[in-house]
Amino acid sequence: MVRLGSRSLAVLGGVYALVASVIYTLVVTRRLPAEELAVLTVFNSGYAIALSILGYVTSWYPRVLAKEPERFSELAGAGVLASFLAWVSLAVYIAVYGKFDAAVLALGLTLLILSAWPAGAYLSIYRQRTLALLGYVSQTAKLAGAFIIRLSPAVSTVLLINVAMSLPTTLAKLAKPRIHLATLRQLIRGAPYQTLYLFSALIGGLATYAVFVAGGDLLLSYNYVLFQIGKSVYPALSIVPLMYGSLLAEANKLRRALLDGAVLLYLYLVAAAVMAKSPEWYVTLLRPSELGSVPLIEAVWLNGAALLASGILLHADTVLKGAEEKTVFTLRDKPAKALMLDIASAPFTITLTYLLAKAHGAPGMAIAFTISGSLAAAYRLWLLGRGYLPLLTKLYLPAAAALALIYAAPIPLLPYVRGGALETILTYLPNALLLGGLSLALLAASSPAAREALSTSLRRLGILRR
């Protein structure tokens, strides 16, 4: 009997989410009037700030629940309290723009409370299959919402749909919130680390500004295209919460890191392989007017390496946090040290981005991203210590070698239609399947972790006997 595991369900759910997001985004951008889009843009910016404030509490949910699941109610109380504080920042931000709207603010508060509810963190540790299945319900609500927006294009409609998307996970684990001062004090002790995290996030914004200074609006638009291409790894991101939850709860953290890492990096490798062998396909899909731009196509080609480096960094960072035994990080702990290096090396990485982008344009920008991502990943692996060296030998180096072979090998691909988005995608599917199969073969041939993950998946599908 075929039984899909939580990882398989999450990856397939990630594909479904990617399709739903594309449809939903197209409807929102095409249907909402200009004034409504302006309000939505302001709301999204203010909401991002509010979520950053929530992070001072919510970032510790999985770590607390992994050790003490009975404290769910205490975390819920802390989350609700933090959501009101975050809502004040949202209200002030919207008021500064002169976009005050009572309905929008009320829906914003609702969304913040739902975001602060610890059900998702609980499910990511103890009921991973349920969490994966609820993802389908959430994305189905988004698809239904796309049709609703066609009938009623307004910011309040968009926010109501966001509420509907958040409800399934929230309702999966309910409890009466309780305010405990001891819990609040414990979470506050993690504030210095969370502040470091926010500062490190600003580095990305400064790097983007360096790109603008180096090449103006044109290079900035190319950077946006590379950013959009990066969304093709969305299915891979869907397993990260499950991996983090498992690392917190399981004793054999190295084995879990290897197995989940093999799935994560394989999905990154497939996207990178498409960039390596068909960079013009991404340009055809996202920016057909730039098909004649050699620098952009070269940048997409080089961005395959940058993408894989970012996947390795994401994995190493998740393992570093999952391997840490403390419930709340202090500035002396390894995850904080990793962020300190990111911040300390920011002048180097930003200067490198500027110089390479200035000298080589879009390709130089992609090279800078590869170097900075690789250095950050290497430091996290060093912090993990010799016990986690198999991540390098059994996972990271095999993935990098597989991509190098894909870059070097002549692979015959079928022609595709350079027309509408749907035709461009559908006619490329044979090539995608070929590159996906080749990536799997190369990774499995060189990575023991990938072979074990593959055999486990085949057994669950009933293809391989135990």
Chain segment 234-287, per-residue pLDDT in tens: 889 999 999 999 999 999 999 999 999 999 999 999 999 999 999 999 998 888
Q: What is the pLDDT of residue 224?
A: 82
Over residues 341-352, mean pLDDT = 95
Q: Taking the CB of residue 464, how many other CB atoms lie within 10 A of it?
A: 12
| Measured CA distances, 163 to 18, 87, 180 (Å) | 19, 15, 27
Weakest-pLDDT range from 16-25, 70-79, 396-405: 16-25
Q: Given the structure tokens 């509490």, which residue do they identify? A: 57
Task: For 293-334, write each residue's pLDDT tens digit.
Answer: 999 999 999 999 999 999 999 999 999 999 999 999 999 999
Residue 136 has pLDDT above 90, yes or no: yes
Is-contact 272 282, C-beta < 8 A? Answer: no
pLDDT of residue 466: 59
The pLDDT-based confidence of 30 (bands split at 50, 70, 90) is: confident
Instruction: Look at residue 174 and tell me whether its pLDDT is greater than 90.
Output: yes
Q: Measured between alpha carbons, how far is 222 from 224 in angstroms, rounded to an integer?
A: 5
- DSSP for 382-427 reads HHH-GGGTHHIIIIIHHHHHHHHHHHHS---------SSHHHHHHT
The letter for the amino acid at 465 is R
Residue 230: pLDDT band with limits 50, 70, 90: confident
| CA distances from residue 96 to 90, 91, 264, 354 in whole angstroms, order as listed | 10, 9, 41, 33
Which pLDDT tens digit goes with each residue over 58-71? 999 999 999 999 99
Is 254:387 a contact under the CB 8 Å cutoff?
yes
pTM: 0.92
Q: How many CB atoms lie within 10 A of CB 174?
A: 11
Say which amino acid occupies 380: R
Q: What is the dihedral of CA 10, 194, 80, 63, to 10 degrees?
A: 50
Question: CA-based angle 90:95:97, to the nearest 5?
Answer: 105
pLDDT of residue 343: 95
pLDDT at 131: 96
Q: What pLDDT is stored for residue 246 in this prediction?
A: 95
**324 within 8 A of 184, measured Cβ to Cβ:** no
What's the pLDDT at 154? 94
| pLDDT at position 356 over 60 | yes
Of 132-136, 206-210, 247-251, 344-348, the least confident: 206-210
Instruction: Compute the distance between CA of residue 77 and CA of residue 94 in angstroms, rounded to an integer.
Output: 26
Is the predicted pLDDT of residue 338 greater than 70, yes or no? yes
Q: What confidence tier does 99 reach under pLDDT thresholds 50, 70, 90?
A: confident
**Unique residue bearing structure tokens 């939850």:** 245
Mean pLDDT across the chain, nearest whole number?
A: 93
Is residue 223 scored above 50 in pLDDT? yes
Residue 14 has pLDDT above 60, yes or no: yes
Please give the pLDDT value at position 462. 66
What is the rounded CA–CA span in Å between residue 66 and residue 241?
13
The pLDDT value given to residue 3: 60
Q: What is the DSSP letter of 289?
A: G
Tokens read off for 262: 């093999």
Q: What is the pLDDT at residue 78?
A: 98
CB burial of residue 50 (10 Å; 0-12, 13-18, 19+): buried
- Say how many CA atoms lie within 13 Å of 245 toward its Cβ: 24
pLDDT digits (tens, 9 = 90+) for 416-464: 998 887 899 899 999 999 999 999 999 999 999 999 999 988 887 667 6
Please give the full DSSP string across 290-334, using - where no structure is assigned: GTT-HHHHHHHHHHHHHHHHHHHHHHHHHHHHHH---SS--TTSH
- Is 1's pLDDT higher than 50? no
Sign of CA dihedral 147, 148, 153, 157: negative
- Do 403 and 269 contact (CB within 8 A), yes or no? yes
Q: What whole-number distance in Å separates Cα of residue 302 and Cα of residue 283? A: 14
8 A C-beta contact, residue 329 and residue 195: no
